[in-house]
Structure 1
Amino acid sequence: MTASSTPHAPPTAPKARRHRTELWLLGFAVVLVTVALLTVQAAQDQPFSWDLLQYILGFVVLFGIAHVAIRVLAPYADPLLLPAVAALNGLGLVMIHRLDLTARGEVTNLATSQVMWLAVGIAAFVGTLWIVRDHRTLSRYSYTLGLLGLVLLILPIVLPNSEARGGAKLWIQTPFFSIQPGEFAKILIIIFTASFLVSRRDLFTTVGKHFAGIDFPRGRDLGPLLAAWAIAICVLVLETDLGSSLLIFATMLAMLYVATERVSWMLMGLSLFAAGAVAAYFLFGHLQDRVSIWLDPFQSPDGAGLQILRSLFALAAGGLFGTGLGSGYPSQVPEIHNDFILAAFGEELGLVGLTAIVLLYLMIVMRGLRAGIGVRDSFGKLLAAGLAFTIAIQLFVVLGGISKLIPMTGLTSPFLSYGGSSLLANYILIALLIRVSNAAREPDAPKKAAPAAPVSALPTQVVKHS
């Protein structure tokens, strides 16, 4: 009996190894964040304080809760997603605390607020895993979620208590806090786009005209592309936000290409966006100001060009290995704790440290795409691809903004930057990716053996006697 059961490994063995891998990597993230916090304290000649211990304990407890939630609600999920997020979030907390210590003439406590928002984000993460037990159920409500996403996008435009920051009208001010609805809208639009493309995929891939070696879709099938273009241009014009416009359009275009595998969609999408952006440039003065500052920030070195110029100086000062954590001057860059926090890492950790951070992001993107490849249903494949692409595109837009590759945008670095809306939305995004990866890695249920037929039902056999 013992020998016969040996070849069959218990089904929990691979799952247990995944949990141990995730736990060890989370432990490494905790050690990394703790050492970084102590390094900042030493570099700034600050003693070990109770606040510092609170940050470390809060970080450990919150990600311990997240690990347990995955172990219970998504036991087969990718073990690398949560540790990569923890490392990024922890490094962001370190830099925010470092900026608190050197605030220019102000008393700030952004790190404490960030830990509180982290707690809310982890609660949203656990809640999403608890509510969405099967990612395929989201496709049933795709049109409702898509409509809600559009409503969230236009809320800052129509509400009287909206607030403009950095020239972009993206925030809604409440008596207790500010919220950026567009951060949540991007997730809802991705869910709708994935469901819509799955339902129309055959039509998009089989019908069309062949011209110059390229398959072009019919005019009546251009609805999704035109809708994405219209949403992106409206956000660009009405909210003066180039970052969100690029993020929404590029994500939808990438999902359209994944669903159809047609290069013609990419060519038409890029052409439409370029034509719309050029037209908006000549029609609206605020876009002309953005582009002129991007082309020549020295025309206003103490005004609109100050942020990008100081960002470039910070990156140049960092060089290859940086000035050392806690030993630079990142507080000289206005609003560096938001969309320019990567410039702070570029100064103090140099190109090597900034590359390591980018690799953490790319790990999340790669594992998200891998989950999309492994999952069996088409909706899950497109959903994972859209969620992974939106992180990759957001990283590109942020890096392009701080290095003057593209005009400055209002996007924040996921999990690194200070802010509640971005942190909360990105934890919901990661929870959905973990749900898809769990479905991709979950083993098939063992097939039940057919019940043995009774002896009376067995066929009669003629046995030849030798």
Structure 2
Amino acid sequence: MTSPSGPLAFVHRRRRGAELFLLVLALAVGIGAYAAVGIGVEQSVPADLIGYGGWLTALIVACHVVVRLVAPYADPVLLPVVAALNGLGLAVIHRIDLAEGSSFASRQLTWMSVGVGLFIATLVLLRDHRVLTRFTYTSGLAAIVMLLTPMMPLIGNEVRGARIWIQLGPFSLQPGEVAKVLLVIAFAGYLVLHRDALALAGRRVLFVDLPRGRDLGPILGMWLISLGILVFQKDLGSSLLFFGLFLVMLYVATERPGWLVVGGALFLGGALMAWRVFSHVKIRVDIWLDPFAHYGAGTDGRGEQPLEAIFGMAWGGLIGRGFGAGDPGRVPFAESDFIIASIGEELGLTGLMAVLVLYGLIVERALRAALISRDGFGKLLAAGLGAVLALQVFVVVGGVTGLIPLTGLTTPFLSYGGSSLVANWVIIALLLRVSDLARRPLPDLSAETDQSSDDDTQVVKIQR
């Protein structure tokens, strides 16, 4: 498009007004769901609705104001989608609290406040994501330390067979949730430096160029670390998440399908070996293949959780039973590992698909930020953060629905869990920072060039 004076410059839109409108809709989802839970269960509006809604609104408005001030060109969709998921998660946890007599929702709101605080701090303190390249190896070392802390004798804590927690006084934390953010930073910094060497092709097999043997060190190292997590911590979900993350980022960096072939072969080999050698993996697979053999009187009862979840989702049908009309308390640990089943029971397949669409939007916006990012580190960072969320949702939903064996990971922004919620809010802050720098207009150098030319002309005239 042109004008009489020449081509029109592209106008970079900040879209903060669109974000505010979407945030209003997101708050309506969260607060409305909380009110619907009270009406459905107790036939009255919750007494603390004003206080709850006011605090939730204050947190989300604070996020919007900070984004408007320090990241004005950031993606306008990410924050509203996260607000909607977090608000819905709080309402569903409150529904389970009413069924079980617990108080997880109030704790989750506290952890959300901590997550929002770190979200704001990340945006305010980190004005350029490229600064993180200085901490590539530091982040990798810190991630390894985080993964090893649950193995320490004094602070390590085993919960439901998995040793992935640490106990610090009254607080129980899951270091792996923080480690996944550090690993994305470490992988992005490492791959942006070494992707040219890793992209070199080796032997060609069946129309696929496999990587060179000398370049297999990083993927073999990550494979061994994942196996170590599976063997010593008995955490199938984190093992799959970390190895899948590195494999996806390696493929994005090199664009070589050969890495997917090698990684897939390593994953299948490790999975078969773990199934044949380690008892806790064999039990997970046996429950997945035949849960009825572990359900009911005379069994170990390990099939109760997945089968009750499937029964609840089947009872929910297409549109769900409605808040208060289901029985999510029948599923053990419904507020954390199996919150997806609670949503499927009371909101039906329609509500569950809507939740999955929201997750798809987060991943799509992360990949969009990666595509338009002007630097290689930003591309890998955004793609890696999007891959973390995509893999985690796939592993959780796949385990709950019976597609894959159960893994024990939490559903991002929905499940009860302070470590997961705080880490995921930091992930969104990093994605907003990458998208802000990518969508920010480049500095106008034409005026400076014209001024420099005028100055040079004046100098020449003076010399003459």
How high is the TM-score relative to the length of structure 1? 0.93
Give per-residue Cα distances to partners, 1:80-127, cap 9 Å, x unaligned. 000000000000011011111111xxx322111111111000001011
Match for 1:256 among 250, 254, 258? 250
CA contact (8 A) 2:30 2:86 kept: no
1:59 and 2:53 are equivalent in the alignment: no
Instruction: Give distance in 2, aligned partners of 1:246 and 1:406.
Output: 12
Q: For this pair of structures, how many residues does the alignment match?
A: 452
Q: Which residue of 2 aligns with 1:34?
A: 31
Instruction: Give distance in 2, aligned partners of 1:383 and 1:339.
Output: 27
Over the residues paired in the alignment, what is the CA RMSD in angstroms? 2.1
Q: From the superposition, tell whether residues 456 and 172 of structure 1 become closer, same or farther in structure 2 (CA, over 3 Å).
A: closer
Deviates more, 1:150-159 or 1:114-123: 150-159
Match for 1:71 among 55, 63, 68? 68
Q: From the superposition, tell whether residues 455 and 248 of structure 1 become closer, same or farther in structure 2 (CA, over 3 Å).
A: closer
| 1:58-137 superposed matches below 5 A | 58-103=55-100, 107-137=101-131
CA contact (8 A) 2:38 2:46 kept: no
Tell me the amino acid that sits aligned with residue 449 of structure 2: A
Q: Which residue of 2 aligns with 1:14?
A: 13
1:210 and 2:204 are equivalent in the alignment: yes
Q: Which residue of 1 aligns with 2:437?
A: 439
Q: Secondary structure at the match of 1:326?
A: coil
Identity %: 48
Instruction: Give distance in 1, aligned partners of 2:10 and 2:110.
Output: 41
Give per-residue Cα distances to partners, 1:335-372, cap 9 Å, x unaligned. 00001100000011111110000000000000000000
1:450 and 2:447 are equivalent in the alignment: no
Instruction: Give distance in 1, aligned partners of 2:204 and 2:292.
Output: 49
Q: Which residue of 2 aligns with 1:337?
A: 335
Q: Secondary structure at the match of 1:79?
A: coil
Q: Secondary structure at the match of 1:163?
A: strand
Q: How far 1:34 moved relative to its partner?
A: 2.1
Q: Secondary structure at the match of 1:208?
A: strand
Tell me the amino acid that sits aligned with residue 265 of structure 2: S
Q: How far 1:315 moved relative to its partner?
A: 1.0
Match for 1:267 among 255, 261, 266? 261
Q: Secondary structure at the match of 1:102?
A: helix
Instruction: Give distance in 2, aligned partners of 1:85 and 1:27.
Output: 13
Instruction: Give distance in 1, aligned partners of 2:271 and 2:42.
Output: 49
Q: Which residue of 2 aligns with 1:220?
A: 214
Match for 1:282 among 276, 285, 288? 276
Tell me the amino acid that sits aligned with residue 87 of structure 1: A
Q: Secondary structure at the match of 2:209?
A: strand
Q: Which residue of 1 aligns with 2:380?
A: 382
Deviates more, 1:90-99 or 1:155-164: 155-164
Q: Secondary structure at the match of 1:449?
A: helix
1:180 and 2:174 are equivalent in the alignment: yes
Give per-residue Cα distances to partners, 1:188-212, cap 9 Å, x unaligned. 1111111111111111123523333
Q: Secondary structure at the match of 2:323?
A: coil
Q: Which residue of 1 aligns with 2:230?
A: 236
Q: How far 1:10 moved relative to its partner?
A: 11
Q: Which residue of 2 aligns with 1:400?
A: 398
Tell me the amino acid that sits aligned with residue 204 of structure 1: L
How high is the TM-score relative to the length of structure 2? 0.93
Instruction: Give distance in 1, aligned partners of 2:459 and 2:161.
Output: 84
The answer for unaligned runs of 5 or more in structure 1 is: 460-466
Q: Secondary structure at the match of 1:108?
A: coil
Q: Which residue of 2 aligns with 1:320?
A: 318
Instruction: Give distance in 1, aligned partners of 2:322 and 2:193.
Output: 52
CA contact (8 A) 1:76 1:437 kept: yes
CA contact (8 A) 1:233 1:277 kept: no
Q: How far 1:182 moved relative to its partner?
A: 0.2
Q: Which residue of 2 aligns with 1:298?
A: 292
Tell me the amino acid that sits aligned with residue 66 of structure 1: C
1:194 and 2:188 are equivalent in the alignment: yes
CA contact (8 A) 1:166 1:410 kept: no
Q: How far 1:129 moved relative to its partner?
A: 1.1
Tell me the amino acid that sits aligned with residue 133 of structure 1: R
Q: Secondary structure at the match of 1:171?
A: strand
CA contact (8 A) 1:194 1:255 kept: yes
Tell me the amino acid that sits aligned with residue 62 of structure 1: L
Q: Which residue of 2 aligns with 1:151?
A: 145
Q: Which residue of 1 aligns with 2:132?
A: 138
Instruction: Give distance in 2, aligned partners of 1:316 and 1:49.
Output: 29
Q: Which residue of 1 aligns with 2:352?
A: 354
